Chains A and B, each alone.
Chain A
Amino acid sequence: MYKTFRVKNFRCFKDLQINDLGRVNLIAGANNTGKTALMEAMYLHTRPFSPGDLSNLQQVRGINFSDDNRVSNWRQFFYRLDPDTPIEIEGQRILPEPRPILCIEELANTIENEAEFQLYAKNLQLLGMTQIDAAKAASELDIVLHFLERDEKTTHGSAFLPSNPKLPVIGFKDRKEDSQFFPVQGRPTSEDLTDKYSLLRFENRHSAIDSALKRLEPKLTNVEVLSPDGQRRIWATVDGVIMPFHLLGEGSIRFASLLMVMCGDKPEYLFIDEIENGIHYSVQQDVWKDIGKAAREHDIQVFATTHSWEMIEAAHEAFKSDHNYEFRFHRLDRSLQTGDIEAVTYNEFGMDAVTSISYEVRG
């Protein structure tokens, strides 16, 4: 579980330090203060050897990503689109362990970076490509992701992203990469949800999902996997009518999907963009209680963004009713002096203060 986090030269962040992270973290701020970008940085740090995530994150933002525009897309991750200053993403976790830094830097030419080139060439060979291909790569390898330990400066591994679209992106998979990102848009497929729910049902771990759905839709009485037309999918009984689960509202499906991931996949880290989407104010406290319970039971650290005051208040009230307040609220602000983005963190005491006087904390 992360305790602190630092992001340098990434997207809109020149140098952002965020402290006192909780098990469940809610991030707010005015538009263009980097709420989603902060979660992207954290997501990348939890999956340092998955360079393909860069393209996924761009596509989530609706940016077309293809092999032909790799470089242009990668450069969008750099502060002010300037790849001359490397990106550094660093997190300190609660357990004593090295403080790895994910460093993303653009190499003008790998010939000048012999060690990096040799490593890439070696991996090309492992993939069955010839030495000639590797040599050709030398002048084309633009961006390299390093994963370093701060103290020893030793490289744990590198992922390679060549600018030449004919050359493969190579990443290492020798480390557990266990996080999931819920973007603002994009529904999970019916098949994906059905697979997850079936497994939970089979293992008799579906009650948390059923209970949560009933709170969101009080007329819902039953959820089950059926295949009346030969296609296996989830069906819900609402007001006595059995209907495909996907006909329920956006909020119900998104939240059910979220809980299925938490209870089924149990990722170490979960990122949710604009968590308030589709959630009626009257059930927001319940939603937070469900998220807090699942996070605690399955040892998941949750990061979410919001623009909703009601969602912020609901989170505080939900976690306050627990004897162990595992919630932190973080606001991203732009400094009037430097224009840089800074983070302010509120613990239980701070949240009590601002919610009791309805003080604006959304930036």
Chain B
Amino acid sequence: MRNIKIDERYGRLLFVEGRDDEVFFLKLFEHMGISGDIHIVVYGGKDNLQRHLLAILSDANYSINRQHIGIVRDADYNTDAFDSIVSALRHANEHRGTRHQFSIPGTAQARSEAAPYVSVLVLPPDGEGTLEDLVVDVLKTEPVMTCVDQYFECLTENGISISRERFSKSKLSVFISGAAVDTDYATNRDSRRKFLREAVAMHWWRAALWQHDNFRVIQDFLTQLRTDQPSSAT
């Protein structure tokens, strides 16, 4: 097994929670025409973020080519995601093995003051939830989503409850099945399916969907990460 190696020559890093998010952002990079400008690091869940931050901070050449680090995570529920990320940054600073330090941003979406810059994006930016919530909301006007909504209403009426943590993920999986009902996908029983990454990779995903307001804040964040200019959202 090869170890993780983040090349010290990468100037701009985007830390994302999982492989699903990685595919989502790679597709968005393509749409924005910025593929190759930002290197994605999958940190594998919020518990691993601090470990990854400490690891890159311990690279001797951390600050030489590094210009900007973006960190994205889900807002989730009953937690302050931004504070949690700031805490991970501070812990990494305390336990560093080199002279480097992360500069800490004051608020979400705003970059820190000192280079290499650090900025944080919590999704959704204005409440609880996950990236899947944003995607499901974008798809709400799609014809298939009408059927999905009716299906979930039916489940609720029959006493089958779905936790809020799983609601959008479940909805997205049903949506994808519906959108691909007459294809090989529908008969594929691969239980390792990752619905978010499949949603943005499917043939019916249109460039116009990226124009939705839900993705505006993400695109502003990426523009800031790529150019070091404060985003219009801040």
Size class of the contact patch on chain A: 20 to 34
Contact B3 A349 (CB under 8 A): no
Given contacts A354-B51, A356-B48, contact A344 B61 (CB under 8 A): no
Contact A350 B8 (CB under 8 A): no
Number of A-B contacts defined by CB within 8 Å: 70
Contact A359 B55 (CB under 8 A): yes
Secondary structure at chain A's binding surface: helix, strand, loop or mixed?
mixed
Given contacts A344-B98, A350-B97, A360-B5, contact A333 B59 (CB under 8 A): yes
Contact A344 B51 (CB under 8 A): no
Chain B hits for A347, CB < 8 A: 95, 97
Given contacts A347-B95, A359-B4, A360-B3, contact A337 B55 (CB under 8 A): no
Contact of A353 among B9, B51, B65 (CB under 8 A): B51
Distance A361 CA – B1 CA, assembled complex (angstroms) = 14
CB of B60 within 8 Å of the partner chain: yes
Interface hub of A309, A335, A344 (most chain B Cβ within 10 A): A344
Chain A hits for B44, CB < 8 A: 357
Chain B hits for A334, CB < 8 A: 60
Contact B55 A354 (CB under 8 A): yes
Contact B97 A344 (CB under 8 A): yes
Give residues 18-77 of B contacting A (CB, 8 Å).
Answer: 43-44, 48, 50-52, 54-55, 58-61, 64-65
Contact A360 B4 (CB under 8 A): yes
Contact A344 B4 (CB under 8 A): no
Contact A344 B60 (CB under 8 A): yes
**Closest residue of B by beta carbon distance from A309:** B3
Contact B50 A353 (CB under 8 A): yes
CB of A15 within 8 Å of the partner chain: no
Contact A359 B52 (CB under 8 A): yes
CB of A342 within 8 Å of the partner chain: yes
Distance A357 CA – B53 CA, assembled complex (angstroms) = 11
Nearest-CB distance from B52 to chain A (Å)?
Answer: 6
Nearest-CB distance from A347 to chain B (Å)?
Answer: 7
Given contacts A309-B3, A357-B4, A358-B3, contact A342 B51 (CB under 8 A): no
CB of A345 within 8 Å of the partner chain: yes
Distance A302 CA – B48 CA, assembled complex (angstroms) = 32
Instruction: List 7 extra interface pairs beyond A353-B95, A356-B51, CB under 8 A.
Output: A333-B59, A333-B60, A350-B58, A350-B95, A353-B52, A357-B43, A361-B3
Give chain A's interface residues, CB within 8 Å of chain B. Answer: 309, 331, 333-337, 342, 344-347, 349-350, 352-354, 356-361
Top 7 A-B pairs ranked by shortest CB distance? A333-B60, A353-B51, A360-B3, A359-B55, A360-B5, A353-B54, A344-B97
Give chain B's interface residues, CB within 8 Å of chain A. Answer: 1, 3-5, 8-9, 43-44, 48, 50-52, 54-55, 58-61, 64-65, 95, 97-98
A-B contact pairs, 20 of them (CB 8 A): A336-B9, A336-B64, A337-B61, A342-B98, A347-B95, A347-B97, A349-B95, A350-B58, A350-B95, A352-B51, A353-B50, A353-B52, A353-B55, A354-B58, A356-B48, A358-B1, A358-B3, A359-B3, A360-B5, A361-B58
